[in-house]
Amino acid sequence: MSGLFTRNRVIGLALAAFVAVIDQAVKLWVIGPLDLRRVLHIDLLPFFDLTYMENRGISLGMFQANDMETRWLLVALTAAIALVVLVWMMREKALADIVGLALILGGALGNIRDRYDLGYVIDYADFHIGDFRPFLIFNIADAAITLGVVIILARSLLVRDKGDTETGDAPHGEQHNA
């Protein structure tokens, strides 16, 4: 494969699709067979429960979409961000960067689908340590977006750009002796 659809980019597109499909499947299971929309809360483990929430805002509940205009504005804004992430991913070459961006893209697509169809995002994952909740209630899409951002940030902070060393350029001010 050459050009736009390299092996790594195809892997990225497949991962993004997988995340979006799994996110939607779990949401359907949570509101379908588990009927979490009606029961609201299911105790599972000492540190993890299922708790139904309708998130009408964005991260941390900011920018609530309580009317149709704001709902569609959020759909358009998140779709534009997803498009930027897709273009970015299709320009990357390193698999680790593509994986991070694919997780963000897949999560964004899962949440956009909720907001488009329902007007809100379904959240259900409730991680806690006793009464302490280090996270808000979230879903698979949110977890994928968070993991993708962590990967991108870690790579940008920890992986050195090899551009200068790959070309054999000496650091500024040093001379090569033949």
List alpha helices for 40-132, DSSP H.
68-91, 95-118
State yes or no: pLDDT of 101 exceeds 80: yes
State yes or no: pLDDT of 173 exceeds 70: no
Question: How does pLDDT run across 47-88, given as a tens digit for each residue?
Answer: 999 999 999 887 656 677 778 888 899 999 999 999 999 999
The one catalytic residue in 23, 114, 123, 126 is 123
162 band by pLDDT with thresholds 50, 70 and 90: low
Q: Give me the pLDDT at residue 60, please.
A: 58
Rounded-to-integer distance, Cα 154 and Cα 100, Å:
10
Q: Give me the pLDDT at residue 28, please.
A: 97
Q: Which residue has the tokens 């299911």?
A: 42
Q: Which residue has the tokens 């995002």?
A: 121
Average pLDDT in the chain:
88
Contact yes or no for 140/110 (Cβ under 8 A): yes
Note if 97 is an active site residue. no
State yes or no: pLDDT of 167 exceeds 70: no
The one catalytic residue in 97, 114, 126, 142 is 142
Task: Name the token pair of 85.
Answer: 């992430």
% the chain with pLDDT above 90: 72
Model confidence, pTM: 0.84
Report the range of poorest mean pLDDT among 17-21, 38-42, 118-122, 129-133.
Answer: 129-133
Note if 126 is an active site residue. no
Question: How does pLDDT run across 121-145, given as a tens digit for each residue?
Answer: 999 999 999 888 888 899 999 999 9
